[in-house]
Amino acid sequence: QVQLAESGGGSVQAGGSLRLSCQLSGRTRSVNGISWFRHTPTRQREWVACIFTPDGSKYYADSVKGRFTMSQDNAKNTVHLQMSSLTPEDAGTYYCAATTRTSGSCGEWAPGYAYWGQGTQVTVAS
């Protein structure tokens, strides 16, 4: 089992920045991919970004490319999502999710992730 806990959400003005964190615990060595998803009123669940933990490769949705950056701190079993140039369209609940699958570890298909955090809220004021 793998447990995930998000933190770092909050309120920010449009154009501002936030950094989300996802702390992993449990069988973290079995994790191959960690993604961020978000639930928004307009797009419902949307895949945002992923890091393939064995080699650190990162993938981003077109909607956030160039504005969001994922990173991992292996010593702390934590991944971060640095979000910049935020717009009201970025507001929503952000979830981190992990998979132990050995193929398609950074897919956009949410059911492929067995482990989910409880989410953290991001509000962006225009």
Q: Which pLDDT score is estimated for 76? A: 87
Q: How many CB atoms lie within 10 A of CB 17?
A: 12
Alpha-carbon torsion (121, 114, 1, 58), positive or negative: negative
Task: Give the HSE-up count for residue 19: Cα atoms under 13 Å, Cβ half-sphere.
Answer: 9
Instruction: Return d(Cα 120, Cα 104) in angstroms, integer.
Output: 25
What pLDDT was estimated at residue 91?
96
Tens of pLDDT, residue by residue over 5-46, are 999 999 999 999 999 999 999 999 999 999 999 998 887 899
User: CA–CA separation, 3 vs 60, rounded Å?
Assistant: 23
Q: Are 89 and 62 in contact (CB under 8 A)?
A: no
Report the pLDDT value the prediction gives residue 72, as an integer from 0 to 100: 94
Tens-digit pLDDT profile for residues 44-85: 899 999 999 989 999 999 999 999 999 999 888 999 999 999
Collapsed DSSP state (helix, strand, coil) of residue 57: strand
How far apart, in whole angstroms, are the C-alpha atoms of residue 95 and residue 6? 7
pLDDT at 105: 80
Report pLDDT for 41. Answer: 81
Quick: pLDDT tens for 83-111: 999 999 999 999 999 999 888 788 888 88
For residue 36, the Cα-to-chain-centroid distance in whole angstroms is 2
**Residue 15 identity:** G
